[in-house]
Each structure stands twice: as C-alpha cells, then as structure tokens.
Chain A
Amino acid sequence: TQLLEQSPQFLSIQEGENLTVYCNSSSVFSSLQWYRQEPGEGPVLLVTVVTGGEVKKLKRLTFQFGDARKDSSLHITAAQPGDTGLYLCAGAEDSNYQLIWGAGTKLIIKP
C-alpha cells in the first residue's frame, strides 16, 4: 500500500511567521493535490501540481512538487489567522481511481 507521510501533524505559530508542511512518499505520483479543511466543513482543493519540480503560488502559499514526483511541500509566508485549518495532501496514480491521502497537518495561527 502506498503511503503519504505528512509532517508536522500539528503546528501552532504566531501571526506573521513562516512555515512549511511536507508530504513524502517512496512512490511516484502522477500528480499531487493540496486541500484545506476548515472546522465543520469538507476539504477544498487549493492546488494540483503535476510536473516534477513544479512550483505554484497562491498569494502567500507556495507549493512545490519534488523533481522525482515523490514529495511535495507547502510554504506559507507571513501566516495569518485566516490560514488556520487542516491541510491535507493527496497523491494520484493514473492507474487508480483513488487518491492516497496524507494524515493532515492541523495549523493554528495565533493573532
């Protein structure tokens, strides 16, 4: 079974700090998605990365797909309280209907 290790599991930082969340696997994915889930809601897609080495930016969020397409990172610059939530990564294989999910990173940004 493919695994997607996500770290850290929990992060609580002050507003204005930077942070990075990691997703790592020993297997290769055709694409990798990042979702954010707010309390009481379902996850919502933030970005999909497809090409090895790809970098995508969404305002203060920077997503990178590893060159070998086995890992990905999410970097948040100058975190805001509105960034608080559960961040989930999910890897896709072309041969599979299913996504492989990381366990999530619970992020709390304190004002």
Chain B
Amino acid sequence: DVKVTQSSRYLVKRTGEKVFLECVQDMDHENMFWYRQDPGLGLRLIYFSYDVKMKEKGDIPEGYSVSREKKERFSLILESASTNQTSMYLCASSLSRAGNTIYFGEGSWLTVV
C-alpha cells in the first residue's frame, strides 16, 4: 500500500525557533511536494522537488527552505518560525507527470507561539 509518512502530527514551537518537518514516501516517486493548508485558502504549494537534490519554489516559498538528499525523503525547514506560519502542513508525492495521482501524508499541525 502507498504510504507518505510525516514524522510529526502536532508541534508547538516558539517564535524564532528552527523547525524541521520530515516526510518519507515508500513508492519510489520522483516528485515530492510541501503544501500548507489554511481555512478558505485551499492548498498552497510551498516547494516541490522532481528529483534528488532538485527543488523548485512554489507559490509561497518565503520563510521556508527544503532539502531532498535522498529520493524517499523531503524535508521542510522553517529557519526562524513566525506566528503567521501556524498552519497545517501537508507532504505529498507523485510519479513524474502532473496528471498522476498525488498521495498525501496525514499532515503536520504546527502552532507557533
């Protein structure tokens, strides 16, 4: 069965802290994505990666960075967390073409206080 696993379901961090959100997929997918989801705004793409060590900015990359050292792992980094980064973060993966199914993790709820 297809699986995307996000390491943390719920986190509470202080303003200014560095935050790592880890994601692992077991499907040998080329593409991996990080989205944030906020009520009324839908899914907004932060960064995506179409290959190891490759990354592309999405619609809202400011304040975030990513790392993809291995094909199965895609990490989202908040260098200095701020309260406006309180959100639900969703990791996802897919095979190479845009029309392929995207498989999502269960999400990470981040609260920055």
Contact = CB atoms under 8 A, between A and B. Distances in A.
Interface of A: 6, 9, 30-31, 33, 35, 40-45, 48, 50, 88, 90, 92-94, 96-99, 101-104
Contacts of B103: 45
Chain A interface SS verdict (over half): loop
B102 interface: yes
A54 to B, nearest CB: 13
Interface stretch (B63-71, B77-85, B104-112): B104-112
Given A40-B106, A40-B107, A103 B101 contact: no
Contact of A42 (B40, B41, B92): B92
Interface of B: 4, 31, 40-45, 48, 50, 56, 58, 90, 92, 96-99, 101-107
Contacts of B4: 42
A66 B99 CA distance: 17
Contacts of A44: 104
Given A9-B40, A102-B42, A103-B42, A96 B104 contact: no
A61 to B, nearest CB: 17
Contacts of B42: 6, 88, 101-104
Contacts, number: 63
A48 B97 CA distance: 14
B101 A88 contact: no
Given A48-B101, A97-B98, 6 more contacts: A35-B102, A42-B104, A45-B101, A92-B98, A97-B56, A101-B43
B48 A98 contact: yes
B50 A97 contact: yes
Contacts of A88: 42-43
B104 A99 contact: no
- Top 3 A-B residue pairs of the complex, sorted by shortest distance between their CB atoms: A42-B104, A103-B42, A92-B99
